[in-house]
Amino acid sequence: MAGARGVHAPVHALSEGAAGAVVIAPGDTRGTVLIPEKRGGACCGFAD
């Protein structure tokens, strides 16, 4: 399945989301600040 999606490296998991999508787990957002003016066309920007 990974090879069919263009992933040719050993990975522990493969997302079923859209190609190019970013997923952030709740634990990854600690200390994260939303910066709307830096969103670059996305819904919001992120900074540490």
pTM higher than 0.75: no
Query: Looking at residue 31, what is its pLDDT?
Result: 78
Dump pLDDT digits (tens) for 1-48: 667 777 777 776 666 777 777 666 766 677 777 777 766 666 655 554
Query: Looking at residue 41, what is its pLDDT?
Result: 64
Q: How far is CA 24 from CA 3, 10, 15, 27, in A?
A: 24, 21, 12, 8
| Tokens, residue 22 | 């970013």
Query: Looking at residue 48, what is its pLDDT?
Result: 47
Give the residue from 39, 4, 1 showing the smallest Cα distance to 22.
Answer: 39
Distance separating alpha carbons of residues 30 and 40, to the nearest angstrom: 22
| Domain range annotation of the chain | 22-48
